[in-house]
Amino acid sequence: MKRPDITTILGILIGGGLVIIGILLRGNLGEFLDWAGLMITLGGSFGALLVFFRAEDIKMVLQVTKQAFVRSDEDVATLNERFVNLAQKARKEGLLVLEDELDEIEDPFMRNGLRMVIDGFEPDAIRHILNTELESLETRHQLGQNLYKTWGTLSPAFGMIGTLIGLIVMLAHLDDPDAIGPGMAVALITTFYGILLANLVFNPIAGKLSVYSEQEVHKKQAVIEALLALQSGINPRLLKEQLKAYLSPAERERVEEEERRAREEKEEDVMLDV
């Protein structure tokens, strides 16, 4: 299940809002709007971005950016539970019975892997194919991060180019001393744009994409390990222990709490039975 990542939106709103309030406290917003400056900073850096990357990567930008605003909800704990259930079923009724589960799996990576397990591919081949796929995934993820990181480097640079243009023009016409101040003010606006865009939008989005990428790779590594253990006919209890290692302490505590409670209830049942 996917739902919007509120922090990404909230962060931009808070950061941008505080900067606007800061401007309003000292001057007025109008002085900070300069379409020519925005064109140099944002448009110029986008032009350089077109040189940096391929056409298809630029198209991917929009798709990739969406990911920073949306989050997937299935956590590793739910995933582990699912695999322990699969392992129990496979132990009792054989691997072929898992065929019925295939359609319920949304994640194509996991579905593809499970299908190979059922089809009886060699464990080494499965590991190799899934690892190659995971590496391709990481490479694609890194491309998205690189694109925003690069934009985060280019936008202050083009901001400075805009400022240099403003300064040079202003300095070349120093006859009118009254024009110095406003000239410099206009010149500095592109630097302001460049640094703000880099530090509130481009770099943080690159960061969020990187955090999500790590999370997904971590989950997929657990999937690979679980699939291979499943194929080897692992004891579900050992699989549970193995997969626990992928949990954060908070998740692990929750899982162990649930286990304890389940055991106690069982024991109570047993005692009541007696």
Q: Does 242 bind a copy of itself (CB under 8 A)?
A: yes
Nearest-angstrom CA–CA distance, 192 and 187: 9
Minimum distance from CB of 274 to a copy of itself (Å)?
26
The footprint of a copy of itself on residues 181-220 (CB under 8 A) is: 181-182, 184-186, 188-189, 191-192, 195-196, 198-201, 203-205, 207-208, 211-212, 214, 218
Own/partner contacts of 59-63, CB < 8 Å, gap of 24 or more, are: 60/143, 60/144, 60/147, 61/144, 61/147
The footprint of a copy of itself on residues 146-185 (CB under 8 A) is: 150, 154, 157-158, 160-162, 164-169, 171-174, 178, 180-182, 184-185
Among 1, 3, 25, 271, the residue binding a copy of itself under the rule CB under 8 A is: 25
Q: Does 123 bind a copy of itself (CB under 8 A)?
A: no
Q: Cα-flanking dihedrals φ and ψ of residue 267, to 5°?
A: -60, -40
Nearer to a copy of itself, 105 or 188 (CB): 188
CB 141 within 8 A of CB 219: no
Q: Does 97 bind a copy of itself (CB under 8 A)?
A: no
CB 191 within 8 A of CB 162: yes
DSSP-derived letter for residue 174 is: T
Minimum distance from CB of 226 to a copy of itself (Å)?
12
Comparing CA positions, the residue from 193, 230, 245, 200 lying closest to residue 114 is 230
Nearest-angstrom CA–CA distance, 158 and 139: 28
Q: Does 236 bind a copy of itself (CB under 8 A)?
A: no
The footprint of a copy of itself on residues 57-76 (CB under 8 A) is: 57-58, 68, 71
Comparing CA positions, the residue from 1, 140, 129 lying closest to residue 57 is 140
Minimum distance from CB of 266 to a copy of itself (Å)?
20
Q: Does 78 bind a copy of itself (CB under 8 A)?
A: no
Query: What residues have CB less than 8 Å from 233, skipping those under 6 apart?
Result: 90, 91
Q: Does 102 bind a copy of itself (CB under 8 A)?
A: no
Structure tokens at 240: 């549970």
Nearer to a copy of itself, 93 or 254 (CB): 254
Q: How many residues bind a copy of itself (CB under 8 A)?
A: 107
Structure tokens at 27: 């001057």
Among 121, 123, 138, 228, the residue binding a copy of itself under the rule CB under 8 A is: 121
